[in-house]
Chains A and B, each alone.
Chain A
Amino acid sequence: MITRSVLPILTVLGIILVVWYAGTVALNWRIEAERFERMGLTKTTMEMVQATMAMDRPILPAPHQVWNEFQASVFGRDPSSPRSLVFHAWITLSSSLVGFAMGTLLGILLAVGIVHSKVLDKSLLPWIIASQTIPILAIAPMIIIVFSTLGVQGLIPKAFISTYLAFFPVAIGMVKGLRSPEAMHLDLMHTYTATRSQTFWKLRLPASLPFLFASMKIAVAISLVGAIVGELPTGAQGGIGARLLNSSYYGQTIQIWAALFAAAFMSAILVYAIGWIGTFVNKRMGAQTGVREAAA
């Protein structure tokens, strides 16, 4: 299974790389050609191609330029200096993880309330769904300002944005999950004269776990996006978002791409970590593969 999919994936990645290099040459060609023309130099095609991949502020940096910058700013610099990507990544990661944890908790609590109370089900659920149609990230700058007028700065406002984004998929997934036990199982609990809390702990909660982890994967990805966007208006205190904004002011395209890669790596690692934990927990709980796949 794995060996069968490795070759296609590598092919696709290889094509992306080739297209990228071709794009680098094509997009940067004109600028370099004009530069050499002003200097009165004539270059061979090979020299031109090399020149397009070695610019300081290219329109599109070559993949190896991005990789070098990424390596230099991740491993080459003191992690406590603002020039290091680790410094920025940690700021973003910490607030998105706090937001993710709070969002997950809020989502679970809301789902438990919705499953157990008819009033909440009918009044709250439509509004939770409606809240999704609102571009919540657009409020991000305002939330930052509101918090800072209240004297709260730094991690909490950004975490709040992540919370707002993360609670939704968890709430929806958990409502689905807590309602996933079959009527027969619920009836069985009923014949045991199980109380509501016993039914919850012994039947509903275990049944909902595959759904929980599937929605946590979505939640962790968007809470990272939330934290990054939350850093845009804060006035560059640090974080991937601030790094993106700063680099775009100074036209440092290589830095932008390196920051993007850092964000992409973080996101991928977080999503896979949740996936692994989910697989592990589900296995321990004795879930069948079919159930897990249905939830994912």
Chain B
Amino acid sequence: MMGLTGTSILWAALAFWIVAWAANQRLAGLNLSGTPKVLVNLLIPVLFGATLLVLWEGITRGLDVPQVVMPPPSMVWERITGSVDILWADFQQTFLKAVIAGYVMGCGLGFIVAILVDRSPFWKAGIMPVGNLMSALPIIGIAPIMVMWFGFDWPSKAAVVVVMTFFPMLVNTLAGLNAAGNMERDLMHTYASSYPQTLIKLRLPAAMPFIFNALKINSTLALIGAIVAEFFGTPIVGMGFRISTAVGSLNIDLVWAEIFVAALAGSLTYGAIALMERQVTFWHPSNRRAR
């Protein structure tokens, strides 16, 4: 690409866009079934994503957009491969320590509290509205307080994540425990099954779609919480720390590299949870193959 002038790069990118768009138009219009259909359904978004990258590269290089504003993807990739050690250290600090610890504790706590509260209609009626309200509030604002209480290192970030993930889990689990139908409950009753039996064999399985919904919401929230909490004070490692210092020294390509890592981690976590959901809630209509 070195020999090309700016405008020709831009035109090439635009041409790629048009060709890819036309190709997608054709692909979407095809009437397929079985494996080819799955492949085409995968190919279309991949082609779309590639188009975005090519356009991004073409526009930044072709129009000579300053690197401070928007570095081309090739440069970001170079930065990613060139500073794997920094990225790994940040990933360890933020994701492996703060996010995972906070996520497990927050979701676990929300789940346990929901199970405890569920036995009493009085507490349920009190906690549901409060929990619903709390999950709509900007909880992320407690980050400075947590940093004061638990210090600069990862426990304070984990604490933010615990609080952020607690309420969605609580509310969703409570809603899920109500999801089992009256008919099924009556059936369990006629079997003279005890409370734990009904809970484990009927109500928890019925609640699983809701619980997995909370797990999915929380996977995004946890990463955001940990990164933003690092803006309020952190040791000299961590994804949020790196992002804020790299922005300060105008190393925008490093910021994008961190974002790439965060996006990758976020997508993989989300994918893993979605996969687990399929295994656990195989009976749910949305997971049954349409015939």
Measured in the bound complex, the distance between the Cα atoms of B232 and A12 in whole Å is 31
Q: Assuming A134-B266, A271-B136, what are 13 further A-B pairs, CB within 8 angstroms? A: A12-B130, A122-B27, A122-B44, A123-B45, A124-B48, A127-B48, A134-B262, A138-B259, A142-B243, A146-B68, A225-B138, A240-B141, A248-B147
**Number of A residues with CB within 8 Å of any CB on chain B:** 60
11 contacts between A and B (CB under 8 A): A122-B45, A139-B255, A142-B256, A145-B68, A145-B247, A217-B136, A245-B144, A251-B148, A260-B141, A263-B138, A271-B136
Residue of B nearest to A165 (CB): B224
Which residues from B are CB-within-8-Å of A124? 48
With known contacts A138-B228, A138-B239, A251-B148, A225–B129 Cβ distance under 8 A: no
Residue B24, interface by CB 8 Å: yes
* CB–CB A139/B123 < 8 A: no
Measured in the bound complex, the distance between the Cα atoms of B70 and A123 in whole Å is 24
Q: State which of B21, B143, B147, B258 has its C-beta within 8 Å of the C-beta of A138.
A: B258
Interface residues of B in 36-73 (CB under 8 A from A): 41, 44-45, 47-49, 52, 66, 68-70
Residue of A nearest to B222 (CB): A135
Which residues from A are CB-within-8-Å of B140? 137, 225, 228-229
Which residues from B are CB-within-8-Å of A225? 138, 140
Residue of B nearest to A142 (CB): B255
Contact with A along B135-164 (1 / 0, CB 8 A): 011101111110111000000000000000
Interface residues of B in 86-109 (CB under 8 A from A): none
Residue B127, interface by CB 8 Å: yes
Measured in the bound complex, the distance between the Cα atoms of B149 and A245 in whole Å is 15
Which residues from B are CB-within-8-Å of A4? 125
Residue A118, interface by CB 8 Å: yes
Residue A184, interface by CB 8 Å: no
Residue B115, interface by CB 8 Å: no
Residue of B nearest to A13 (CB): B130
Residue A113, interface by CB 8 Å: no
* CB–CB A146/B70 < 8 A: yes
Residue A154, interface by CB 8 Å: no
Q: State which of A10, A221, A245 has its C-beta within 8 Å of the C-beta of B136.
A: A221
* CB–CB A126/B45 < 8 A: yes
With known contacts A127-B45, A232-B228, A141–B130 Cβ distance under 8 A: no
Q: State which of A8, A123, A133, A141 has its C-beta within 8 Å of the C-beta of B24.
A: A123
* CB–CB A138/B129 < 8 A: no
Which residues from A are CB-within-8-Å of B145? 248, 253, 256-257
Q: Which residues of A contact B (CB under 8 A)?
A: 4-5, 7-13, 16, 59, 118-119, 121-124, 126-127, 130, 132-139, 141-142, 144-146, 149-150, 217-218, 221, 224-225, 228-229, 232-233, 240, 244-245, 247-248, 251, 253, 256-257, 259-260, 263-264, 267-268, 271
Which residues from B are CB-within-8-Å of A13? 130
Q: Closest 6 A-B residue pairs measured CB to CB?
A: A8-B126, A248-B144, A12-B126, A123-B48, A8-B125, A126-B45
* CB–CB B138/A141 < 8 A: no
Shortest CB-to-CB span from B60 to chain A, Å, is 12
Which residues from B are CB-within-8-Å of A245? 144, 231-232
* CB–CB B44/A9 < 8 A: no
Residue B220, interface by CB 8 Å: yes
Which residues from A are CB-within-8-Å of B41? 122
Residue of A nearest to B217 (CB): A132
Shortest CB-to-CB span from A266 to chain B, Å, is 9
* CB–CB A232/B220 < 8 A: no
Contact with A along B222-239 (1 / 0, CB 8 A): 011001100111000001
Which residues from A are CB-within-8-Å of B68? 145-146, 149
Interface residues of A, dominant DSSP: helix
Which residues from B are CB-within-8-Å of A224? 138
* CB–CB A268/B262 < 8 A: no
**Number of B residues with CB within 8 Å of any CB on chain A:** 64
Give the most central of B45, B47, B137, B259: most A CB within 10 Å: B137
With known contacts A141-B231, A229-B228, A244–B129 Cβ distance under 8 A: no
Residue of A nearest to B145 (CB): A256
Shortest CB-to-CB span from B64 to chain A, Å, is 14
Measured in the bound complex, the distance between the Cα atoms of B127 and A10 in whole Å is 10
Which residues from A are CB-within-8-Å of B266? 133-135
* CB–CB B129/A133 < 8 A: no
* CB–CB B137/A118 < 8 A: no
Which residues from A are CB-within-8-Å of B122? 7-8, 11
* CB–CB A122/B24 < 8 A: yes
With known contacts A119-B25, A122-B44, A248-B232, A142–B137 Cβ distance under 8 A: no
Which residues from B are CB-within-8-Å of A9? 125-126, 129-130
* CB–CB A142/B138 < 8 A: no
* CB–CB B127/A228 < 8 A: no
Residue of A nearest to B141 (CB): A260
With known contacts A123-B45, A268-B133, A135–B223 Cβ distance under 8 A: yes
Residue B244, interface by CB 8 Å: yes
Which residues from B are CB-within-8-Å of A267? 136-138
Residue of B nearest to A132 (CB): B220
Q: State which of A118, A122, A135, A149 has its C-beta within 8 Å of the C-beta of B66.
A: A149
* CB–CB A123/B47 < 8 A: yes
With known contacts A11-B126, A123-B44, A259-B141, A118–B69 Cβ distance under 8 A: no
Residue B28, interface by CB 8 Å: yes
